[in-house]
Amino acid sequence: MKYYMSKRTTMFLLLILFVNVNFGQTRIKAMMYNVLNYSDSEVSRNKTPFLSTILGEVKPDLFMVCEMIDEIGSNYLFENSIIPFNENFQKAPFEENQSGSYSLQQMVYYNTKKLILEETRVITADTRDINQYTFKINTENGNTNPITIEVFVTHLKASTGSSNRQRRLNSIQSFVSYTNNIADDSYVLFAGDLNFYTSNEEGYQHLIDDRNPIVIIDPIDRPTPNFPDDGIDYYENYNSTYFWNNSSFRDIHSQSTRTSNIGFIDDSGSTGGLDDRFDFIMMSKNFNTSTSLYYVNDSYKVIGNNGNCYNSFISNPNCSGGYSQTLRDALIEFSDHLPIVMEIETPENTLSTNLISEINFIGSNIIKDYLKITSPNDINNLKIYSITGQLVDVKLSKNTGNDTIIIDVKHISKGIYYLSHQKLKKPLKFIKI
């Protein structure tokens, strides 16, 4: 006897198959953004609502920034833009720049439902640090089969000229040398305002050299044409054909959002219109070959760039397209750069985050020697962070026969702290006096 399936039945079975194949996948959206001299200043505070608009539109899980001036500024951005956007976010510790005299620094904010920050390091380099963040993806099998990502964020020396190109190369050499210290099968993201004018630059070529300990690639593979072997110095005898500053790359330009700074809250940014590819998220080659963690094809985007704004301002009504006018208005107000995003994915399911039913302070959250809380749940992994994101070493003890947890805080400094747990809906603030 032969059996025949109707077209409707066939489609239903295909749908079931599709759902089963895709069930459990965890996708992580990474976003890199030059936040234009963000600090604890009235100017930065006044432009912060525009970032909230941008984050609400993009919805990143890993938010990497450069041009963060100070720690207080990083905290203000976190409390007034990041947390309102997603209360599951946490911030990495802020590190003062240890390379040269430049104050601009990098920072990372991340979705704790998907990412666990394991470790941070600072790599000294020419001009500015390269900040390293080791993340473990928060999967159900994370303890037995962990998937980690090494995230590097930096801001290379700006401007043209041989000396500036050399300083960019020096920083890349520091990074490549450092990768000898990590496993050669590591998943690596290398992001930042890299200030490369062309893929012919020595620094860029050294970064993507396939002889490096970790092979780094451009997810979209959009190099400029090679300089002709004709003896001409194209840096001195400029020909835009061989640089990203030409209309054939208009869809991936990320700087400058403005043709003029007149009338903007932050008038310190670059002008001239959208014509440079300075901002990058690069990745290790294994994102294209691995089945455990992989790049999502066609996910690399320059947010706000509709591909029709070459040498113009990003909010120009004539630059309409997939990115809305509202978003482009926010982008031009917040920074002279555009954010870069890309997505990575693992077939592993994100760890279930059933919320702790309740944690309550016993008495006030303003304490001196001992913090007392009550919870009916097992919170052995409860952690305390300072307002700067530093993990605080404390001793927890639980009273026998009840749900009271006592935390000795006599040794920690006065200030604001947060109780955190992967199952907490959001961190709980307390004040040590």
At a CB cut-off of 8 Å and minimum separation 6, what does 58 contact? Answer: 29, 31, 303, 339, 341
pLDDT value at 356 more than 70: no
Is the backbone peptide bond immediately before 256 cis, with ω within 30 degrees of 0? yes
**Dist CA 394 CA 412 (whole Å):** 8
Model confidence at 352, pLDDT cuts 50, 70, 90, reads low
pLDDT value at 240 more than 80: yes
pTM as predicted? 0.79
Q: Where in the chain is the domain with CATH 3.60.10.10?
A: 24-346
pLDDT value at 426 more than 50: yes
Model confidence at 6, pLDDT cuts 50, 70, 90, reads low
Let me know if domain 360-432 sits in CATH 3.40.1310.30: no
Residue with tokens 């690069």: 282
Which tens digit of pLDDT belongs to each residue from 121-133? 999 999 999 999 9
Furthest C-alpha separation in the chain: 83
Mean pLDDT of 62-71: 97
Model confidence at 3, pLDDT cuts 50, 70, 90, reads very low
Closest among 221, 299, 313, 280 to 66, alpha carbons compared: 280
Which tens digit of pLDDT belongs to each residue from 357-401? 467 778 778 888 888 887 655 556 677 888 777 788 777 665 545
pLDDT value at 13 more than 70: no
Beta-sheet strands, E only, within 286-403: 294-295, 301-302, 340-346, 360-361, 366-367, 370-374, 383-386, 391-392, 395-398
Q: Where in the chain is the domain with CATH 2.60.40.10?
A: 360-432
Which tens digit of pLDDT belongs to each residue from 21-63? 444 689 999 999 999 999 999 999 999 999 999 999 999 999 9
What are the φ and ψ backbone dihedral angles of 329, each rounded to 5 degrees?
A: -65, -40
DSSP code at position 285:
G
Which tens digit of pLDDT belongs to each residue from 296-332? 999 999 999 999 999 999 999 999 999 999 999 999 9
Fold of 24-346: Deoxyribonuclease I; Chain A (3.60.10)
Residue with tokens 């899980």: 61
Q: How many CB atoms lie within 10 A of CB 10?
A: 11
DSSP code at position 387:
T
Are the beta carbons of 242 and 225 closer than 8 angstroms? yes
